[in-house]
Structure 1
Amino acid sequence: MKIPEVPTIAISSSSNSPGITLTLESTGILLGILVSASLLGTMAVQLITKMNRISSSIAQIEEVMKEHARDAEKIRQIEKTLDLHIQEYVNRKDVIQMVLGQLDQKINHKFKRLNIREYEENTQEE
């Protein structure tokens, strides 16, 4: 059985001189390795770019969440203040109703006394 010859690109004529012998097969393998490495490098760069975008998005989301937390705290403080104002309004309303009730009682009492005096004066004249 005869071994097929492998095509060569460059052949050194002297066997003693140092050098690299390239064949089409070794050149194809080398080019395949370089293309694969280039592809892997490109994919790595794309992956790193996507990871950086995701990281940036997460940082922005965290900042927005912190802002919302601050807003929520402000809303709680405003609600507490509103509750205090509402309670103050209810207390003032109760006091005013009590004072008006007392005033109404005094006015009614004065009218009753006035009616009694008029009645007594009218009955004494007769």
Structure 2
Amino acid sequence: MKPFVIAGAGLLALFVLVLGGLAVWDGLREDSGIAACRSLADRTAGEDQTELSESEYRELRDQFADSDIRTIRENGTAMMDLVWEVSQQSSSELDALRYLPQLSARLEGLQRACAGQGVTISPNLPD
């Protein structure tokens, strides 16, 4: 009976250590949406903005989509989709103006959500 008690206590201690380690790890990792906010903030702060490539769009969108922060997730994914859709339009710039109200609302929401996490995004979106 004594070996079972020792083994049970050992397993319980191991279980507690694993759970504690996971809790610490979760507290240390940065949310993917906050990382995307930082990436977007760095991109919009630069003087030499380049066009958004498809791989950059997908990477940022995926980061926003995986965020645990609802406002970052919703505004970030919607804004990235709008930016990508506008960038793929072959029509005139005047046609792109129809996206302005949606894009403005999503950008404002994302700026507020990111600012709540300590990240400032300038209003200058990538081309």
Higher Rg: 1
Give the number of the structure with larger relative contact order, counting CA–CA contacts within 8 Å between residues 6 or more apart: 2
TM-score (norm 2): 0.32
